[in-house]
Amino acid sequence: MNLTSLLLLVLSNIEKYLAAVSSYILSVIVKADCGFYFLEQVNSKQGGSPCKEKHVVLLSPVGRIEISGCELGVHEIKLPKISVLPAGAESSVSCEVSPGEQELPEPLQQCTAWLRAYFSEPGGTEGLPVPALHHPLLLRDSFTRQVLWTLLNDVKFGEAVSYKQLADLAGHRGAARAVGGAMSSNPIPIIIPCHRVIRSNGDSGNYGGGQLLKEWLLSHEKLQKEKLQKKMQEEKLKKEKLAHP
């Protein structure tokens, strides 16, 4: 590891630590309905006014996904740890939120809508807004923020890049190890798709939600991308036939 890579790796770990201690949280349970929970919090961040944070649980094909955020944006997405892969990587309609979804701030409504489309109708995510993001790591200029935004903007559904390739995309050649540290700090998995970053030898590599979940997400995207491409090809042939009967 060269000196630049070592310094970037140390900085990414410092950023992760600062994000963990940059706020204190006073929690009050507001509502709990049929396995779908709201948690309202006062979240005071250094150098800023307090956030009124709410939590929501999305019941997805891979388990319970916990989402937190406020009126300004999504704070964090917590993935379940799975020990057994869900059956297949097909799109699923079993991705539900509570009927009280309208009580959530707009960024959380957009986040749950985006994630439901991701699991149930992946082609629909392109027509949906990415919710505003409001985690400390994503608000201040840093190596981790730059890498995560590069990943969000440049690595699309069904694609995969190596840690080295992502380092190059972000303008930090030779910083593959530091990119790995940035991926482990990602507070908004799936939407910021750190599961699409794999090892140069093709192995899936580490993941906050566990290797099984990472492999499922990659398989899900590959299968759905193939289906979307097939559908587009069929529609193209249909139009050509209509144009030239």
Distances (CA, A) of 24 to 42, 71, 106, 119, 124: 8, 18, 23, 33, 37
Question: Of 231, 226, 217, whose CA–CA distance to 160 is shortest?
Answer: 217
Q: Where are the alpha helices (DSSP H) in 59-185?
A: 106-120, 136-139, 143-154, 163-169, 176-184
194 is catalytic: yes
Question: Of 70, 45, 42, 67, whose CA–CA distance to 55 is shortest?
Answer: 67
**CA 190/CA 165 separation, integer angstroms:** 19
Among 51, 95, 111, 194, the active-site one is 194
Phi, psi of 175, deg, nearest 5: -105, 35
**CA 51/CA 130 separation, integer angstroms:** 20
**CA 21/CA 64 separation, integer angstroms:** 25
User: Could you give the 3-state DSSP secondary structure of residue 238?
Assistant: helix
Which residues are catalytically annotated? 194
